[in-house]
Chains A and B, each alone.
Chain A
Amino acid sequence: MTAMSIPIGVTVNGEDHEFAEPLTVRQLLERLALPCQGVAVAVDGAVFPKSRWDEQVGRGWTIEVLTAVQGG
């Protein structure tokens, strides 16, 4: 088994996911049926700006996808 065949494991909003093939942040959102408008992405506790959403998701990333909800 080569390193490339190991699935890409990430945590998104507290849930673990595995993907067989490399994918971008934008593709990840689509795959999980999450909206791309009106949301922000944080990776490992830092803002991951929209300008980088076409970059590939890294192994082991902890990803938070946030939006505005009722509050305050």
Chain B
Amino acid sequence: MADLPESPANGLPPLRIGDREFGSRLIMGTGGAENLAVLEEALVASGTELTTVAMRRVDAAGGTGVLDLLKRLDIMPLPNTAGCRTAAEAVLTANLAAEALGTTWVKLEVVADERTLLPDPIELLSAAEQLVDAGFTVLPYTNDDPVLARRLEDAGCAAVMPLGAPIGTGLGIGNPHNIEMIVGAAGVPVILDAGIGTASDAALAMELGCSAVLLATAVTRAKQPPLMAAAMADAVRAGLLARHAGRIPKRFWAQASSPSTP
């Protein structure tokens, strides 16, 4: 990024989650990449410092390739509980991730069904309460429901991560007003998670006041993942700057920007 030392864009606050700070506000997922080489290019181009991984059975051939990659790139792994349908499954998966990765951070996912992959709010809140009690730093993937977001924050979650649209759809932010309401009420970072299709969606999330964006498919399944990763990094930054700059109010009639007298 072409940053001049005197740029007014310098000095924007880093992303703070729990006791950690991140320079990048783009959190990446690793799902969907064709292979580790493409994933590596995309992660580097994204500038991300925090990236999700899933917990699955190890096989002798596959080994621990993704973890090794993240370690080499100095990216903090954020294990998720993808595939869990109940609070009990998610709590077990989080504990296994803590054991395998040596982190107590978890992206908490408890989905209701395979077709929508929408969070099950009741199981999600129950899992969040149990994991917070056990000392985890919990980042829950949640519906774009301001009430549920508040309940998750009250439970002690370190962030709330509302969806823009269902996972993998690329439909963008279906209900921007809900996202704004969540941001307005939240005392923890709001991270737009899921539904991002292209760069303008990520910029919009930041303009709405989100603290960060989490995405995977939009990059990993793009025709050129590294290029889209770079676009997302710029979009997140542009959206953050615009949010801080303060947009003009919308008007119905035109307002000349040149002097109206000759």
* Contacts A38-B100, A68-B54, A71-B82 known; 15 new A-B pairs at CB < 8 A: A13-B57, A34-B58, A34-B60, A65-B57, A66-B57, A66-B58, A67-B62, A68-B97, A69-B54, A69-B62, A71-B31, A71-B53, A72-B31, A72-B78, A72-B82
B side interface size, CB within 8 A: 37
Distance between Cα atoms of A33 and B61 in the complex (Å): 9
- B30 contacts A47, CB within 8 Å? no
B92 is an interface residue with CB less than 8 A from chain A: yes
CB distance from B76 to the nearest CB of A (A): 12
Is A35 touching B64 in the complex (CB atoms < 8 A)? yes
Quick check: B99 and A50 within 8 Å, CB to CB? Answer: yes
Interface positions of B from 121 to 151, Cβ below 8 Å from A: none
* Neighbour of B58 across the interface among A39, A49, A50, CB < 8 A: A39
Q: Of all chain A residues, which has the CB nearest B60?
A: A33
Interface magnitude class on chain A:
20 to 34
Q: Is the CB of A39 within 8 A of B60?
A: no
A36 to chain B, nearest CB (A): 10
Cα-based distance from A72 to B97 in the complex (angstroms)? 14
- CB–CB B77/A42 < 8 A: no
Q: Mark B94-129, 1 if CB is under 8 A from A, else 0.
A: 011111110000010100000000000000000000
Q: Does B210 contact A (CB under 8 A)?
A: no
Q: If the complex has contacts A14-B57, A45-B92, A47-B95, are A67 and B31 also in contact, measured as CB distance less than 8 A?
A: no
When the two chains form their complex, are residues A42 and B96 in contact, meaning their CB atoms are under 8 A apart? yes
Task: From the candidates A33, A41, A71, name the one contacting B30 in the complex (CB within 8 A).
Answer: A71
B66, B92, B97, B99 — which one has the most chain A CB atoms within 10 A of its CB? B99
